[in-house]
Chains A and B, each alone.
Chain A
Amino acid sequence: MKTRRKSALLLLLPGFIFYSMFVVYPYVNSICYSFTDWMGVGPKKFIGFSNYMKLFTDPLLSKEFWRAFSHSTIIFGASTIFAVILGLALAFLLAAPRLKGRGFFRALYFLPYILPPVAYGFVWRYILNPRIGSLNEILKSIGLAAWAQPWLGSIELALPTVIGVWCMKQAGLYILFFEAGILSIPNILRDAALVDGCTRWQQIWYVELPLLKPTFITLVMFNFINSFGAFDLLFALTGIEGRPLGTTDVLATFFYRTAFGTTTHPFGWGLGMGAAVACVVALFLVSVSFVFIVIRQRSYVEY
Chain B
Amino acid sequence: MKIRSWIFFLGLFLALLGPSMGWASEEKVEIVWWSWGKPEEVFGGLETAIEAAYPQIDLVIRGIKATEYNAVLTAALQGGRGPDLFTTRINPMPTQFAQAGFVEPLDTLVPILRYYNPPALEAVSFEGQPYAVPSACTLSAIFYNKQIFEEYDLSVPRTWAEFIEVCEALKGHGVTPFSMYSAEWAIASIFYPVIAATTLPESWRQRLLKNEASFTDPEFVNTLQLGLALKPYFLDGWEGLTYDDAVSLFINGEAAMIFDGCWMIPFYRKLNPELEFDAFLFPPVEEGIGPRIPWRVDGGFAFNAGLTGRKREAALLSLNFLASSVAGEILARDASIVTWAPGVTGTLADPVLQKLMAWRNERAVGTVVLRGGPLDWKTPTISSLLGKYAMQLLFGTITPDEAAQQIQHDISRQE
Interface residue A207 (Cβ < 8 Å from any Cβ of B): no
Q: Inside 8 A of B347's CB, which chain A residues have their CB?
A: none
Question: Contact at B384–A265, with CB atoms within 8 Å?
Answer: yes
Residue interface bits B162-191, CB-to-A below 8 A is 1, else 0: 000000000000000000001111001100
Contact residues on B (Cβ < 8 Å of other chain), bracket: 35 or more
Question: Contact at B189–A130, with CB atoms within 8 Å?
Answer: no
Q: Inside 8 A of B77's CB, which chain A residues have their CB?
A: 41
Question: Contact at B240–A128, with CB atoms within 8 Å?
Answer: yes
Question: Contact at A264–B184, with CB atoms within 8 Å?
Answer: yes
Asked, given contacts A245-B395, A267-B96, whether A130 binds B70 with beta carbons under 8 Å apart, the answer is no
| Minimum Cβ distance to chain A for residue B55 (Å) | 35
Docked complex Cα distance between A132 and B99 (Å):
47
Asked, given contacts A40-B74, A41-B100, A42-B96, whether A151 binds B240 with beta carbons under 8 Å apart, the answer is yes
Question: Contact at A131–B254, with CB atoms within 8 Å?
Answer: yes
> Which B139-179 residues sit within 8 Å CB-CB of chain A?
none
Residue interface bits B239-264, CB-to-A below 8 A is 1, else 0: 11110010001000010000000000
Interface residue A262 (Cβ < 8 Å from any Cβ of B): yes
Question: Contact at B241–A265, with CB atoms within 8 Å?
Answer: no
Q: Chain A residue with minimal CB distance to B70?
A: A266
> Which A264-278 residues sit within 8 Å CB-CB of chain B?
264-269
Residue interface bits B327-359, CB-to-A below 8 A is 1, else 0: 000000000000000000000000000000000
Cβ 8 A contact of B395, one of A129, A131, A155: A155
Q: Inside 8 A of B388's CB, which chain A residues have their CB?
A: 245
> Which B349-385 residues sit within 8 Å CB-CB of chain A?
371, 376, 379-381, 383-384
Q: Chain A residue with minimal CB distance to B391?
A: A245
Asked, given contacts A41-B77, A264-B185, A264-B381, whether A131 binds B100 with beta carbons under 8 Å apart, the answer is no
Question: Contact at B67–A240, with CB atoms within 8 Å?
Answer: yes
Question: Contact at B70–A41, with CB atoms within 8 Å?
Answer: no
Docked complex Cα distance between A155 and B391 (Å):
12
Interface residue A260 (Cβ < 8 Å from any Cβ of B): yes
Count of interface residues, chain A, beta-carbon cutoff 8 Å: 34
> Which B197-251 residues sit within 8 Å CB-CB of chain A?
235-242, 245, 249
| Minimum Cβ distance to chain B for residue A103 (Å) | 38
Interface residue A77 (Cβ < 8 Å from any Cβ of B): no
Question: Contact at B384–A264, with CB atoms within 8 Å?
Answer: yes
Docked complex Cα distance between A60 and B407 (Å):
12
Q: Chain A residue with minimal CB distance to B413?
A: A60
Question: Contact at B78–A153, with CB atoms within 8 Å?
Answer: no
Docked complex Cα distance between A243 and B239 (Å):
9
Q: Inside 8 A of A136's CB, which chain B residues have their CB?
A: 237
Q: Inside 8 A of A261's CB, which chain B residues have their CB?
A: 70-71
Q: Inside 8 A of B78's CB, which chain A residues have their CB?
A: 40-41
Question: Contact at B92–A60, with CB atoms within 8 Å?
Answer: no
Q: Inside 8 A of A297's CB, which chain B residues have their CB?
A: none
Residue interface bits A41-65, CB-to-B below 8 A is 1, else 0: 1100000000000000000100000
Docked complex Cα distance between A100 and B96 (Å):
64
Docked complex Cα distance between A268 and B188 (Å):
16
| Minimum Cβ distance to chain A for residue B94 (Å) | 11
> Which B52-89 residues sit within 8 Å CB-CB of chain A?
66-67, 70-71, 74-75, 77-78, 89
Q: Chain A residue with minimal CB distance to B93?
A: A266
Q: Inside 8 A of B97's CB, which chain A residues have their CB?
A: 41
Cβ 8 A contact of A153, one of B75, B241, B380, B384: B241
Asked, given contacts A240-B67, A264-B189, whether A131 binds B235 with beta carbons under 8 Å apart, the answer is yes
Question: Contact at A243–B254, with CB atoms within 8 Å?
Answer: no
Residue interface bits B39-63, CB-to-A below 8 A is 1, else 0: 0000000000000000000000000
Asked, given contacts A260-B70, A262-B185, whether A130 binds B395 with beta carbons under 8 Å apart, the answer is no
Interface residue A250 (Cβ < 8 Å from any Cβ of B): no
Which of B66, B184, B249, B413: most chain A Cβ within 10 A? B184
Cβ 8 A contact of B71, one of A149, A150, A260: A260
> Which A218-276 residues sit within 8 Å CB-CB of chain B?
239-241, 243-245, 260-269
Q: Chain B residue with minimal CB distance to A150?
A: B240
Docked complex Cα distance between A40 and B58 (Å):
31
Which of B99, B237, B380: most chain A Cβ within 10 A? B237
Docked complex Cα distance between A181 and B241 (Å):
43
Asked, given contacts A41-B77, A128-B240, whether A244 binds B182 with beta carbons under 8 Å apart, the answer is yes
Interface residue A173 (Cβ < 8 Å from any Cβ of B): no
Which of B71, B99, B236, B371: most chain A Cβ within 10 A? B71
| Minimum Cβ distance to chain B for residue A143 (Å) | 18
Q: Inside 8 A of A42's CB, which chain B residues have their CB?
A: 96, 99-100
Question: Contact at A129–B245, with CB atoms within 8 Å?
Answer: yes
Extra 6 A-B pairs, beta carbons < 8 Å, given A153-B182, A267-B92 = A130-B240, A155-B395, A264-B184, A264-B188, A264-B189, A264-B376
List 9 A-B pairs, minimum CB-CB distance, nearest first.
A153-B240, A130-B237, A150-B240, A153-B239, A264-B383, A42-B100, A41-B100, A265-B384, A260-B71
A sample of 22 cross-chain residue pairs with beta-carbon separation below 8 angstroms, ordered by A number, consists of: A39-B92, A41-B99, A60-B410, A129-B240, A131-B236, A131-B249, A132-B245, A150-B239, A154-B239, A154-B240, A245-B388, A245-B391, A245-B392, A262-B67, A263-B67, A264-B185, A264-B384, A265-B384, A266-B381, A267-B74, A267-B96, A268-B379
The chain B residues found within 8 Å of chain A, CB to CB, are 66-67, 70-71, 74-75, 77-78, 89, 92-93, 96-97, 99-100, 102, 182-185, 188-189, 235-242, 245, 249, 254, 371, 376, 379-381, 383-384, 387-388, 391-392, 395, 397, 410, 413
